[in-house]
Amino acid sequence: MSVLKFLTSLGLGMSSVLATTTVLAAPASVFGPILDDLPTDNPAIPALRMPTTVPTDVELHPSVIPEAGIVFLNTEPGCEAIACTALVIAAESGPPPLWPFIGANPMKSVELVDGVQAHFWERDGMASFQWIQDDSFYILSYRQAIFPEEVAIAMATSMATEPPYLP
C-alpha cells in the first residue's frame, strides 16, 4: 500500500499532512506562565528547546531559573525540593567537559531525530536524556514515577525536532 493510500485510509489527505509540516509547534501549554521569563540574551544559554506536549494526569507547576537556563515542572507550586520535581529542561551553549562523561556509561542511547543521539541515564527514581544538537547541550530529566520512558522519549523527540523557543 502506498503512503498516499495509507494516509487517505486514515482520513489524512495530503493537504492535512502538508499543513502540519508548515506549522511550527509551540511549547506545551503548561509552560505558558514562564515563557516570558526564559533567557533570551545570555550567550552562555542557547534558546531552549521545549517539549510540545507534557502528557500526564499530575498537575504540574512551572518555574524557571533564567540566569541558568533551567526550567522545572514541579508537583507543588513554589516547591524547589527534589521530591517535588517532575521534569527539568536545561540547555548550555556547548557540551560539558569530557562529554559523554568518562566513566559514566549511559544505559542506552536513543536516536531522537536523524543525527541526534540522546544518552539515557537513571538514578534514584529520576532519569535523563542528554544530547548535543546545533553545538548546544540539551537535557530532559524526569521523575520515572510520573512519566513512563516512552513518554519521556516522545517529549525529548519533540524538543529535538522542533526549533528552539524564541519569544
Each residue's pLDDT expressed in tens, for the chain with a length of 167 residues: 322 232 223 333 333 333 333 345 689 999 999 999 988 888 888 989 999 999 999 999 999 998 899 999 999 998 988 899 999 999 998 888 877 765 555 578 899 999 999 999 888 899 999 999 999 999 999 999 999 999 999 999 999 999 998 87
Q: Is residue 147 part of a domain?
A: yes
Tell me, what CATH number does 68's domain have? 3.40.1000
Query: CA angle at residue 146 from 96 to 164, to 5 degrees?
Result: 45
How far is residue 17's CA from residue 104's CA, in Å, rounded to a whole number? 41
CB atoms within 10 A of CB 79: 14
Q: Distance from CA of residue 26 to its chain's centroid?
A: 12
Q: Is residue 16 part of a domain?
A: no
The number of distinct structural domains making up the chain is: 1
The answer to whether the predicted template modeling score (pTM) of the entire model surpasses 0.85 is no
The label of the residue with cell 489527505 reads 13
